[in-house]
Amino acid sequence: MKINIAIDGHSSCGKSTLAKQIAKELNYVYIDTGAMYRAMALYALQSGFIKQGKLDTNSLISSLDNVYISFKYNPETQSSETFLNTANVEKEIRSMQVSNFVSAVSELKEVRAKLVRLQKRLAEFGGVVMDGRDIGTVVMPNAHVKFFMTADDLVRAQRRFDELRSNGTEISLQEVVQNITSRDTTDSNRTNDPLRKSDDAIIIDNTHLTQEEQFDFAMSHIRRAFESVEKKTEAESGVVE
């Protein structure tokens, strides 16, 4: 029996790290929905739809049929990489330029409708760990396990800052704090599918947790979910111990 696991939460709080660990442990597929919105923002940038810091929403919306976003597994890096049409954009979508526009792009209901449709299709047969902002509420409302992750603003910014600097990005901690907090505000206050904790999600505040502690905590909930699914299946099939 394959279940689905939803992970939502604030920017840069380690959702993808946890999601990848869980997917590896269970041999499930990891789907990074933030990467899809980032690829869409990159498309808007490359197409010249962002001029003088402003997004031309009409042009983006009328070009949506030309955008094809997919993932391909790279055996060398042992992770899946994001493709925009035929180009591998895994690196570009992590740039600060994309981070600065992704919230504006992901606010648009037409963009969300297209990507949510794709995400729902990917989760149709189970065996998926998906992270994002609206996974437990909109994309997989029936997920067997839902986590909502957060951490102190400064701790998140410092982690992201260290990651960007180790990739050679010239940036100040202040800029990272500004980007993270403004994305949280836009993502939480937008009209369409805002970042919101699903009522049945388990909160993980990892401000003071190691990755290992966080993983153990998450896996204990996932194991419990497997047990209850098994019990339910047995009860339905009339198996008595």
Interface contacts to ligand DC, rule CB under 6 A: 11, 33-34, 37-38, 102-103, 106, 132-135, 183, 187
Least distance (Å) between residue 129 CB and ligand DC: 13
Q: Which residues contact 18 (CB under 8 A, 6 or more apart)?
A: 7, 131, 147, 149, 204, 211, 214, 215, 218
Q: Which is nearer to ligand DC, 38 or 144 (CB)?
A: 38
Give 208-223 as a DSSP string: T--HHHHHHHHHHHHH
Least distance (Å) between residue 59 CB and ligand DC: 20
**Whose structure tokens read 């049929």?**
65
Q: Which is nearer to ligand DC, 128 or 135 (CB)?
A: 135
Neighbours of 186 (CB within 10 A): 17
Least distance (Å) between residue 237 CB and ligand DC: 36
Burial of residue 121 (CB within 10 Å: 0-12, 13-18, 19+) is exposed
Q: Which is nearer to ligand DC, 38 or 159 (CB)?
A: 38
Least distance (Å) between residue 187 CB and ligand DC: 5
Q: Which is nearer to ligand DC, 169 or 229 (CB)?
A: 169
